[in-house]
Amino acid sequence: MKFGFISAKRRAALLWLVAVAVMLTPVAAHAYAGPGAGFAVLSSFWTLFVAFLYSLYAFLTWPFRHLLRLFRRRKAYGNAKIKRAVILGFDGMDPELTERFIAEGRLPNLAKLREQGTFRKLRTTYPAISPVAWSTFMTGVNPGKHNIYDFLARDTSHYLPYLSSAEIKGPKRTMKLGKYTIPLGKTEIKGMRKGTPFWHWLGKAGIFCSVIRVPVTFPPEKFPGVLLSGMCVPDLKGSQGTFCLCTTRASHGKFREGGVRVAMQRVNGVCQSYIPGPDDPLAAGSELRAEFEVKPDAAAKQARISLDGESVTLKVGEYSEWLPVKFKAGMGFNARGICRFYLKEVSPEVEVYVTPVNIDPGRPDLPISHPVTYSIYLSKLFGPYATLGLAEDTWALNEQVLDDDAFLAQAYGNHEDRERMLFDALEKTQQGLCACVFDTTDRVQHMFWRYLDDDHPAARNLPREQRPQVIQELYARVDVLIGKVMQQIDDKTLLMIVSDHGFKSFARCVNLNAWLHQNGYLALKEGKSESGDWFEDVDWSRTRAYTMGLNGLYLNVKGREREGTVSPGAEAEALKAELCAKLNGLKDPETSGIGITGVFDCDATYAGPYVDNAPDLIVGYGEGFRASWDSVMGKVTTQIFEDNLKAWSGDHCIDPRLVPGVLFSNRKIADEKPAIVDVAPTILKQFGLPLPGHLDGKAWTVA
């Protein structure tokens, strides 16, 4: 019989037989069959040996830990009404849309929760911005006590913005060595969010907590439990996400923000380019780069991408898996991250999109979890995953570098990773708290609201019947996930589904700086009718108010701002009242819509030790409106109102009264007007812990 005629099964059996025969007939000195066998045996032995050591340690210390745990748990669970709390956060899940889709029969699991448990609108924070609302969610206090008022805060000495959640600084000391500047010490990361997340109280009481991707948890704080940081984790460049478009197409156009265009050189049919990386730690002012090459195959509509010894072949319109990328600085200094490639085009031009370089969760250069090994554990268990806070590249879709499908593929890829993490956390946390926040709901609604609106400026050219039902599918997907979670919980588990805010259309942009300029509150330098980004052409000596970020309006106060003009006290109060009166009800002359439905005095809205860092007023835009892209970046234009033509077509940074979040629970909650600030005290109370006196929220009555 020819060997080729032997079936695969028999061939395998034959191979096994030969192998077993060889293994069973060794002569003493020949039993070792070289490094191949040695590697396998050693690695396995090592694994088992380490596991054995862990076991031994666990076994020897178990009685003590058990006693301690008994003592702590008796204290912790002594008054507990629940065994476990599962909180699923869906950023931006809107109560009105949810009700609508429930009525359409799209969300059977949420419908079940509504019938058997609770469904309420959840009052959000002022302003209704994710970092603000989630900070309040976790600390149970108002922004005046946790210090987060927006994604950005302003530096009063320069009128420039900085990231409000975390400050990352290079090492304090360096040593000059020729052309190199050697950093001495570690990068310093300082969390700016104040207040104590409720899982810290639970952890201290001996209640185990698994916290996954809750926003504003970077840098991760120590507590007895595991936590993976979410929104506000930077990319390897230190930004909130900078994608890269590598292209052979000649263009000098710069992206407004969020991305860079890199030229690709074609040499003998091979295209060479690079991924811009972080600043060179050894040479100030220069940037590290990771070079890669692309071999396009126009006929097959594919290309082979080689980076750092790894190669991957992609079809046009296909993403790579997460690939490791190493930026070499010399003298042994390296920065490591992960990124994904997306092949956009191979003919006539070659274009490759590269995601922002994420911190590698398996070898994190900056801590993104507590303990550090938790991100490594997840990476080893499920493979590399997005770690960037804003991992779904909305900028790339806004700039039309990615199309709808490519964006959705990326967003849902991340979503599936989070689902895996959630179910692992659920399995590991049979008692205690399991909290996980999904961002997909926020990002997809931001980018696809244009297909939901009847007449959104960004989708006017697309007939209604051709519009994809992206948001409907998103909610259905969320419902399926919730259904799976419901199957995994018992009646001693409290399930809460919360969102930090709702969503509305963003069809019209309001440039508040333009309004302030036209109404005499903000002055430009002589001869200027507009100002560039970050108040480039503003005459501060004649300016009384300005805005930057999404909802904050600031007075140019003497002694606070570098070139303040408004005296604190009566003058400032009068100016605030004047601005409130004028802005409230501001009408869009083109659509007759109300551009601003409320302006809120922060002194009356917030209370706490960090109120001085708050804006002076919070501007609540009307439904369909939001701060313009230019206004957010401190730019002054001539137009106050204009159409929003970007894919980013839905938003929530408006009057918080218009965008409450959702609260679903598997239990009856008596309170009629719950707020996101109440979640922390409610969970603490459910676990039978005393409520710290400084909390602003009130615990709900849960059946």
Partner 1 sequence: MPHEMAFAGLFRWNVPLLVVIAISIVIGLVMVLVFAWTSDQKAIRVAKDQLKAHMLAVRLFQDQLGVVLRAYGSLVAGTGRYLKLAFKPLLFVIIPLTFLIIQLDHYLGSTPVETGQPFLVKAQASSIDDIALKLPPELTATAPAVHDATGNEVTWRVVAQRDGAYDVSVAAGGQTAVKRVVVASNIAAVMPKLSSVRLRDQWLDRMLSSAEPALPADSPICAIAVTYPDRSLDFAWIEWNWIWLFFVLSLVAGFAFKSLFGIEI
Distance CA 471, CA 452 (A): 7
In angstroms, what is the minimal distance from the CB of 38 to partner 1?
A: 5
Considering only 265, 373, 469, 541, the residue that binds partner 1 (CB under 8 A) is: 373
Q: Which stretch binds partner 1 (CB under 8 A): 47-55, 243-251, 451-459, 472-480?
A: 47-55
50 sits near partner 1 (criterion: CB under 8 A): yes
74 sits near partner 1 (criterion: CB under 8 A): no
Considering only 17, 47, 525, 673, the residue that binds partner 1 (CB under 8 A) is: 47
371 sits near partner 1 (criterion: CB under 8 A): yes
Q: Residues 379 to 398: which contact partner 1 by CB under 8 A?
A: 379-381, 383
Q: Which stretch binds partner 1 (CB under 8 A): 44-52, 130-138, 157-165, 548-556?
A: 44-52
Per-residue tokens: 356: 């922002």
Is-contact 303 343, C-beta < 8 A?
A: yes
In angstroms, what is the minimal distance from the CB of 308 to partner 1?
A: 9
Considering only 6, 17, 33, 177, the residue that binds partner 1 (CB under 8 A) is: 33
Q: Which stretch binds partner 1 (CB under 8 A): 79-87, 422-430, 466-474, 488-496?
A: 422-430
- Judged by beta carbon, residue 43 or residue 638, the one nearer partner 1 is 43
162 sits near partner 1 (criterion: CB under 8 A): no
Residues 6+ apart with CB under 8 A from 440: 392, 411, 412, 414, 415, 418, 474
Per-residue tokens: 170: 């290079």
- Judged by beta carbon, residue 376 or residue 409, the one nearer partner 1 is 376
- Judged by beta carbon, residue 50 or residue 331, the one nearer partner 1 is 50
In angstroms, what is the minimal distance from the CB of 339 to partner 1?
A: 18
Q: Which stretch binds partner 1 (CB under 8 A): 50-58, 123-131, 643-651, 674-682?
A: 50-58
- Judged by beta carbon, residue 280 or residue 293, the one nearer partner 1 is 293
Q: Residues 540 to 559: which contact partner 1 by CB under 8 A?
A: none
DSSP code of 487?
A: H
Tokens 């140019």 correspond to what residue?
Answer: 556
- Judged by beta carbon, residue 32 or residue 162, the one nearer partner 1 is 32
Distance from the first to the final alpha carbon of the chain: 75
569 sits near partner 1 (criterion: CB under 8 A): no
- Judged by beta carbon, residue 23 or residue 300, the one nearer partner 1 is 23
- Write the binding mask 276 to 315 for partner 1: x where contact by CB under 8 A, - elsewhere: ---------------------------------x------
Q: Residues 428 to 467: which contact partner 1 by CB under 8 A?
A: 428, 430-431
Helix (H) or strand (E) holding 626: strand 624-627
Per-residue tokens: 193: 């969010």
In angstroms, what is the minimal distance from the CB of 83 to partner 1?
A: 13
Considering only 201, 327, 377, 475, the residue that binds partner 1 (CB under 8 A) is: 377
Q: Residues 218 to 237: which contact partner 1 by CB under 8 A?
A: 226
Q: Where are the alpha helices (DSSP H) in 544-662?
A: 570-583, 602-605, 629-632
Residue type, 139: T
Closest CA to 548 of 652, 635, 451: 635
How many residues in the shown chain lie near partner 1 by CB under 8 A?
48
20 sits near partner 1 (criterion: CB under 8 A): no
Q: 680 vs 18, 191, 380, CA distance in Å?
A: 64, 20, 32
In angstroms, what is the minimal distance from the CB of 492 to partner 1?
A: 16
DSSP 41-74: HHHHHHHHHHHHHHHHHHHHHHHHHHHHHHHHHH
54 sits near partner 1 (criterion: CB under 8 A): yes
Whether the bond into 108 is cis, omega within 30 of 0: no
Considering only 13, 17, 37, 160, the residue that binds partner 1 (CB under 8 A) is: 37
372 sits near partner 1 (criterion: CB under 8 A): no
- Judged by beta carbon, residue 47 or residue 187, the one nearer partner 1 is 47
Distance CA 507, CA 646 (A): 9
71 sits near partner 1 (criterion: CB under 8 A): no
489, with CB counted inside 10 A (0-12, 13-18, 19+), is: middle
63 sits near partner 1 (criterion: CB under 8 A): no
Is-contact 379 421, C-beta < 8 A?
A: no
Distance CA 514, CA 637 (A): 5
70 sits near partner 1 (criterion: CB under 8 A): no
56 sits near partner 1 (criterion: CB under 8 A): no
Q: 368 vs 50, 91, 143, 328, 336, CA distance in Å?
A: 25, 20, 24, 22, 14
In angstroms, what is the minimal distance from the CB of 594 to partner 1?
A: 52
Residues 6+ apart with CB under 8 A from 617: 552, 553, 576, 579, 580, 599, 600, 601, 602
DSSP code of 614?
A: S
65 sits near partner 1 (criterion: CB under 8 A): yes
34 sits near partner 1 (criterion: CB under 8 A): yes
Closest CA to 161 of 642, 702, 631: 631
Chain-centre distance for alpha carbon 526: 41
In angstroms, what is the minimal distance from the CB of 418 to partner 1?
A: 17
- Judged by beta carbon, residue 270 or residue 376, the one nearer partner 1 is 376
Task: Give the neighbor-by-neighbor strand order of the sheet with 310-315.
Answer: 265-267, 270-279, 287-297, 302-307, 310-315
Considering only 198, 201, 208, 600, the residue that binds partner 1 (CB under 8 A) is: 208
In angstroms, what is the minimal distance from the CB of 575 to partner 1?
A: 54
Distance CA 282, CA 288 (A): 10
Task: Give the neighbor-by-neighbor strand order of the sheet with 432-438.
Answer: 118-122, 661-665, 493-498, 84-90, 432-438, 209-214, 226-229, 369-370
13 sits near partner 1 (criterion: CB under 8 A): no
Chain-centre distance for alpha carbon 163: 14
Q: Where are the alpha helices (DSSP H) in 543-591?
A: 570-583
49 sits near partner 1 (criterion: CB under 8 A): no
Whether the bond into 219 is cis, omega within 30 of 0: yes
Measured in degrees and rounded to the nearest 5, phi and psi for residue 19 equal -60, -45
Q: Residues 666 to 685: which contact partner 1 by CB under 8 A?
A: none
25 sits near partner 1 (criterion: CB under 8 A): yes
Q: Which stretch binds partner 1 (CB under 8 A): 15-23, 132-140, 228-236, 439-447?
A: 15-23
Whether the bond into 127 is cis, omega within 30 of 0: yes
In angstroms, what is the minimal distance from the CB of 370 to partner 1?
A: 10
Per-residue tokens: 642: 């204009």
Considering only 13, 17, 18, 703, the residue that binds partner 1 (CB under 8 A) is: 18
Q: Which stretch binds partner 1 (CB under 8 A): 35-43, 95-103, 168-176, 530-538?
A: 35-43
Which stretches does DSSP call E strand in 203-264? 209-214, 226-229, 243-247, 259-263
Task: Tell me which residues touch partner 1 (CB under 8 A).
Answer: 15, 18-19, 22-23, 25-27, 29-30, 32-40, 42-44, 47-48, 50-51, 54-55, 58, 65, 69, 208, 226, 309, 371, 373-374, 376-381, 383, 427-428, 430-431
